[in-house]
Chain A
Amino acid sequence: MESLLQHLDRFSELLAVSRTAHVRTWDPVTVRRALQWARYLRHIHRRFGRHGPIRTALERRLHNQWRQEGGFGRGPVPGLANFQALGHGDVLLSLRLLENQALGDAARHHLVQQLFPGPGVPDADEETLQESLARLARCGSAVHMLRFNGYRKNLNLQEDSLMKTQAELLLERLQEVGKAEAEGPSRFLSRLWERLPQNNFLKVIAVALLQPPLSPRPQEESEPSIHKTPGEGSQALVHWLLGNSEVFAAFCRALPAGLLTLVTSRHPALSPVYLGLLTDWGQRLHYDLQKGIWVGTESQDVPWEELHNRFQSLCQAPPPLKDKVLTALETCKAQDGDFEVPGLSIWTDLLLALRSGAFRKRQVLGLSPGLSSV
């Protein structure tokens, strides 16, 4: 067992080095040995992927490595990224070496020969490295072609395939980081927030929060890995959002109303904070007598239309969210003085707008104009 773990360490180092100029010193023998190690670990992954104790031991070793490297979120992982990576460590190594300009001519020539030996007897047992690489190339072409000849961005972000894939990856990573250290996910997410394009990141978070909970399956390997305890990643996300008010504010501003409604319905812990934000935004607006509308004082204030939009969307959510929202609005209206006349309290006006909007909608849909539930 110890020798296996040492192998893991060594290979991880190797993988890290394969990206650097240090490979200048590698000769064909080194290359061959590196590939052999990769193949050995791949074999281990296949054999023991489902074997609880061994897998756990290997994962724990990897987690230790990450902790020593300063944890996740700092950028491309030098060594092995996760346990799954063992299954294609040879591909990772091969690609890094191929792209590395520093590799000497003799070593490179040997590498290419090892990777692409030509037509031969296929290994009945497992896929050869050559086959894996060819399949990756084919897969890449497939994604490219579908992307430009079939894919259309789905306006329901949570159903968009690019968004879904990113969300799945985020959840997977969160779960792993959570296993490695208890406070891991929050720190990890904060680091990502600093480094990644924020708009996209927010969208991915929303989609991740809406991923369907996965039914527990018997231990199985697939890509990306299906978590055995669903919702851990989501919980980490919610926890982090609640702990970072500026992030959450950006989250609520950037994303469309419908999406936020879905997220809040799904994760009730977020609704008080969301409503709190909306209330804050609302209170920043004042009534312009001349124009007859509610306006903000500063340019970054949320305009009336957007506020109305969000409340409208929330009122179409199923209870208990809908009821919470209405209660909140009624409370605010009461605090303001419980006016029925428009132009005095934004909460009154919002409620009026929501009611008439609902009434009009019912008319348009041909429903009875009876007591609306709003």
Chain B
Amino acid sequence: MAQDSVDLSCDYQFWMQKLSVWDQASTLETQQDTCVHLARFQEFLRKMYEALKEMDSNTIFERFPTIDQLLAKACWNPFILAYDESQKILIWCLCCLINKEPQNSRQSKLNSWVQGVLSHILSALRFDKEVALFTQGLGYAPIDYYPGLLKNMVLSLASELRENHLNGFNTQRRMTPEQLASLSRVCVPLITLPDVDPLVEALLVCHGHEPQEILQPEFFEAVNEAILLKKISLPMSAVVCLWLRHLPSLEKAMLHLFEKLISSESNCLRRIECFIKDSSLPQAACHPAIFRVVDEMFRCALLETDGAPEIIATIQVFTQCFLEALEKENKQLRFALKTYFPYTSPSLAMVLLQDPQDVPRGRWLQTLKHISELLREAVEDQTHGSRGGPLESWFLFIRFGGWAEMVAEQLLRSAAEPPAALLWLLAFYYSPRDGRQQRAQTMVQVKAVLGHLLAMSRSSSLSARDLQTAAGQDTDTDPRAPAEQLIRRLLLHFVLWAPGGHTIARDVVTLLAHTAEITHEIIGFLDQTLYRWDRLGIESPRSGKLARELLKELRTQV
């Protein structure tokens, strides 16, 4: 408590100084500085109120002798009054200064003074004498017409901006860059006032004809903040303009999404899908410039987490949402695919972009083989200047969860000799950085496991331990090695699909999940598989039921 009080005193000095410098915020510098500090000042006001409400008027003045100056200065700064709830909190603070029963003339004067300041805050600052006389003459009070006046001013400014935007140099009422910048500054405290939305939208969408950005960065930041916190609702076109004009806002929106994904239960793809759709980023990504930035950020996240399965799953859901949004876009305004995937061969892009739902089930195997061939070609081709090599192809492939996650299933279900193309694809998916030899080895290993599993699927009695041995899962190999992850997947797929699998399912899972990390991985796998089956409509009742039960049990364990 004592520490708080010391902090408050320090803050008090800081803000007192700031307010003195800002005065009525009539210059560019004072306006900019005020805008940047609005949120923090409001927080300070809240803290002050919490402190003041516990004290009576005399005590307050003993503690903060200049409190009246501080509050008055704040009240004379229109930016502060216009911001969010600051005017309310200022009023509360002022009310704390009132003496219920004034004992002397000083206290009476103080009461009068507070009343005067309250009136000032609420009197809807009058400016045009003529307008005031006219409205009074008609018998109206400010509360009657100020909302209408604000609406007219906002609409008038918005249409002026649109005129500027459309006619460029021809209009006689062209706004100068300084006027535009000033207008954007003034909007910063007003962004969460719904009456001002048309103006905010017009500022974002109408970008005039200057080569460099005119609007103030504080404006973009404030709008972005309001969008992320859902305090304003703007049409998609305005949001896209914002993110195109101000890159830090787009980055912040992505980071905001990442934070939400991390903090929430990230092992539920349905929820992830909700978050992603909610963020408006998939729709915005239909604009190639935004797509590239988003892509880059996902790429960084992947690299930093060394290809964590959760990130891959998120990217897959994002891509799916993106493709859905792209489908809804106006066909004439749609960009060519090449703009989104400039370094990919068109044939590969075409194949990958097909939704498995649109391909007959019988042809899935064929399609996967085709994908594998094209990818292998791209990966092993070093000469044609394809950017980045194998990692680039991998970034491309992992996006399309519909196909990527299908490979293991297809391998298990084909009774015949596993096609080399699919083996390659699987090995590549789990370990893109392997050299040719390493990959060949992995393919051999997988082939062997598949052989064992096939044999076991025909036997009547299965045991978890047999399965583990057959898979060659030894305890002294690194459980996080990609090959190990791959094998785990195969085992889990097998358990879900094979007729006798459900009897040994729990034992297998127990054997595999000997660390918390692996348990999370398995939860993720089960959730993703169910999500994918649901989308494609390929679930068999038995497998689905088993998967759901396992998922539920594992979730309670963690």
Contacts and interface: CB of A to CB of B under 8 A. Distances in A.
Contacts of B155: 161
A134 interface: yes
A113 to B, nearest CB: 8
Given A98-B122, A139-B124, A140-B125, A146 B153 contact: yes
B150 A139 contact: yes
A136 B152 contact: no
B111 A108 contact: yes
A140 B123 contact: yes
B149 A92 contact: no
B182 A166 contact: no
B136 interface: yes
B95 to A, nearest CB: 5
A196 B148 contact: no
Contact of B195 (A142, A149, A160): A142
Interface stretch (A70-78, A288-296, A306-314, A319-327): A70-78
A301 B194 CA distance: 52
Contacts of A138: 81-82, 87, 190, 193
Interface stretch (B137-145, B299-307, B491-499, B522-530): B137-145
A105 B102 contact: yes
Contacts, number: 203
A106 to B, nearest CB: 7
Interface in A76-108: 76-77, 81, 84-85, 88, 91-92, 95, 98-99, 101, 105-106, 108
A152 interface: yes
A370 interface: no
Contacts of A374: none
A168 B148 contact: yes
Given A95-B141, A134-B88, A105 B101 contact: yes
Interface in A109-162: 109, 112-113, 116, 118-119, 130, 133-134, 136-152, 154, 159-162
B44 to A, nearest CB: 16
A145 B190 contact: yes
A244 interface: no
A197 interface: yes
Interface residues of B, number: 67
A143 B136 contact: no
A331 B196 CA distance: 54
A91 to B, nearest CB: 5
B54 to A, nearest CB: 12
Nearest to A192: B137
Interface in B82-123: 82, 85, 87-88, 91-92, 95, 98-102, 108, 111-112, 115, 118-119, 121-123
B134 A223 contact: no
Contacts of B137: 73, 75, 192, 195-196
A55 interface: no
Nearest to B181: A149
A173 interface: yes
Contacts of A116: 88, 91-92, 95
A200 interface: yes
Contacts of B85: 134
B133 A196 contact: yes
User: Most B CB atoms within 10 A — which of A92, A98, A139?
Assistant: A139
A56 interface: no
Contact of B81 (A137, A166, A195, A197): A137
B134 A166 contact: yes
A243 interface: no
Contact of A142 (B141, B150, B185): B150
A299 B118 CA distance: 52
Main secondary structure of the interface of B (DSSP, over half): helix
Nearest to A85: B144
A73 B123 CA distance: 23
A77 B123 contact: no
B135 interface: yes
A165 interface: yes
B380 interface: no
Contacts of B149: 143, 161-162, 165
Interface in A170-195: 170, 173, 192, 195
A339 interface: no
Nearest to A166: B134
Contacts of A72: 138-139
Nearest to B26: A148
A169 B100 contact: no
B182 A136 contact: no
Interface in B160-196: 173, 179, 182-183, 185-186, 189-190, 193, 195-196
Nearest to B190: A142
A23 to B, nearest CB: 13
A204 interface: yes
A164 interface: yes
B144 A149 contact: no
B183 A150 contact: yes
B146 interface: yes
A318 interface: no
B157 interface: yes
Contact of A162 (B98, B111, B131, B141): B131
A106 B100 contact: yes
B156 A159 contact: yes
Interface string A314-352: 000000000000000000000000000000000000000
Contact of B140 (A101, A154, A169): A169
Contacts of A160: 156
Nearest to A173: B138
Contacts of B142: 136, 140
A140 B195 CA distance: 12
Nearest to A80: B139
A113 B100 CA distance: 10
A202 to B, nearest CB: 11
A40 interface: no
A224 B131 CA distance: 16
A133 B122 contact: yes
B7 interface: no
10 contacts: A84-B144, A98-B119, A101-B112, A105-B102, A137-B91, A139-B124, A144-B78, A173-B140, A200-B134, A204-B134
Interface of A: 72-73, 75-77, 81, 84-85, 88, 91-92, 95, 98-99, 101, 105-106, 108-109, 112-113, 116, 118-119, 130, 133-134, 136-152, 154, 159-162, 164-166, 168-170, 173, 192, 195-197, 200-201, 204, 223-224
Given A72-B139, A106-B101, A143-B149, 9 more contacts: A72-B138, A81-B144, A133-B91, A138-B190, A139-B124, A142-B193, A146-B183, A151-B153, A165-B149
**9 nearest CB pairs, A to B:** A140-B124, A141-B82, A77-B139, A161-B152, A161-B156, A150-B183, A141-B81, A149-B186, A134-B88
